[in-house]
Amino acid sequence: MAKTQSAVHMHMTGSLAVKRGPVKLTRDSQVGFEELGHLGIGIRAMDSALTGPAANNGVMFAHMLQTWLPGTVRVVTQIRNIDEIAGITTVGSWSDDTINVRVAEPAANAELYGDTTNIPLADYRQSIESRGLVRFEQGFSVGKLEEERQGRIGYQTADEKRKASAESLDISRNQVGFYGFRDPETNVYGLLNDPSLPPYSTAAKPWLTATFDELVTEFTQMINTLESQFGGNFQDSMTLKLVLPLGYRAIFSKYSPAASGMTFRQWLTENFPKLNIVTTPEFKGANGGLDVVYLFVENAGDADESDITGASLIQAVPVRYQVLGSENRIKGYIEDAINATAGIFVLRPWAFARRTISA
């Protein structure tokens, strides 16, 4: 390949260039692009603005132009409402082996009096309802570097992890409250499988497709069941609780064309002002794949002479959240917490009516 060489148009030493100074062109100078090119000035390659090159606006970091909303959005988890249905009874210690309930059933038969007859003696049958304990633990650790970095963007690492720990323990306890805990060493039952509960009855028609009149009939039948089981002790002043599966709120808007548009909810409020309604996801498909509903009296003990709590059922929870201990380490912090539950005691099974309500 032939080599080409650039022609040298002019050369001056450094001292001569300094002595002569910069080239000054006036309006009268008869200098063209070609002559300027010989001087090393390429006008065609310079900025279009003869006032000088464009100025840079400077570096601007993106994080300096951001605005953060106050607070933190925390992701919601599935509702845990065993506490709303059964309440919480704090009893015993997390180190206990069992929690027990005494049951006494009177056994007596009065007979006609006679001076020479034997005295009929009254007695009672005793039984013990016993539940074991289930204990869960959940801990967390926070590293020094992790805490420092998370803190710079507004997170309180220990607080967030402690909230997650408490929620995890509540989720576990809620599961036991509904389903119990199957283990050879314990007999912990939940709201859906306590052996004292009465059997399910079957709805004549699925509640989701039932009319206003059909819903009224269904509910009335459950009330009649309670009245029969109470042996005449059922009172209108008693507080009732209706527990439904998720997805059944629409039934309360069913209305009666013959009653000036009264809805099923209005009918319930008018006829049973002490009725509380709870919906829970655990009642979906709870009985062999069928949805179920519970109707029960909250404080059936008002109708008997028991000296135990008047509640129809209790959730025995020795410890809901207890920190076992914490440790400050060289590189961070670790904490562990536990809970303990004995599940559900159905103290008065005659206070419950259960029904399957789906096809």
Which residue in 205, 194, 167 sits closest to 79, CA to CA?
Answer: 167
Rg (CA), the chain: 41
CA 180 to chain centre: 19
Of 34 and 214, the one with more pLDDT: 214
How far, in Å, are 104, 125, 289, 347 from residue 120 at the CA level? 19, 16, 51, 30
pLDDT tens, residue by residue, 51-69: 556 666 677 788 788 888 8
> What is the distance of C-alpha 145 from the center of its chain?
30
Residue 66: its pLDDT value, please? 85
Can you give the pLDDT at residue 38? 66
pLDDT-derived band at 45, boundaries 50, 70, 90: low
In tens, the pLDDT along 93-149 reads 999 999 999 999 999 999 999 999 999 999 999 999 999 999 999 999 999 999 999
- Cα 341–chain centre separation: 19
pLDDT exceeds 80 at position 276: yes
- Nearest by Cα to 296 from 196, 213, 214, 204: 196
Q: In this predicted model, what pLDDT tens digit does every residue of 252-269 receive, in sequence order?
A: 999 988 867 899 999 999
The predicted pLDDT at position 304 comes to 85
Domains of the chain: 82-117+125-356 (3.30.2320.10)
Q: Which residue in the block uniquely carries the two structure tokens 């995890």?
A: 168
Residues 168-172, mean pLDDT to the nearest whole number: 96
Q: Is residue 334 within 8 Å of residue 327, measured between CB atoms?
A: yes
Q: Does pTM top 0.85 for this prediction?
A: no
> Which residue in 213, 230, 212 sits closest to 295, CA to CA?
230
Q: What pLDDT is stored for residue 305 in this prediction?
A: 84
Q: Does 74 have pLDDT greater than 80? A: yes
Which is more confidently placed, 76 or 138? 138
- In this predicted structure, what is the pLDDT of residue 56? 65
- Pairwise CA distance, residues 325 & 95, whole Å: 16
In angstroms, the CA 140 to CA 11 distance is: 78
Predicted local distance difference test score (pLDDT) of residue 120:
95
Instruction: With a cut of 80, say whether residue 15 has pLDDT above it.
Output: no
Q: Which residue has the higher pLDDT, 17 or 328?
A: 328
Judge contact between 282 and 241, C-beta under 8 A. Answer: no
Contact 162, 176 (CB under 8 A): no
Residue 135 near residue 310 (C-beta atoms within 8 A):
no
Beta bridge partners of residue 143, listed in sequence order: 332
Placement of tokens 């004549």 in the chain: 204
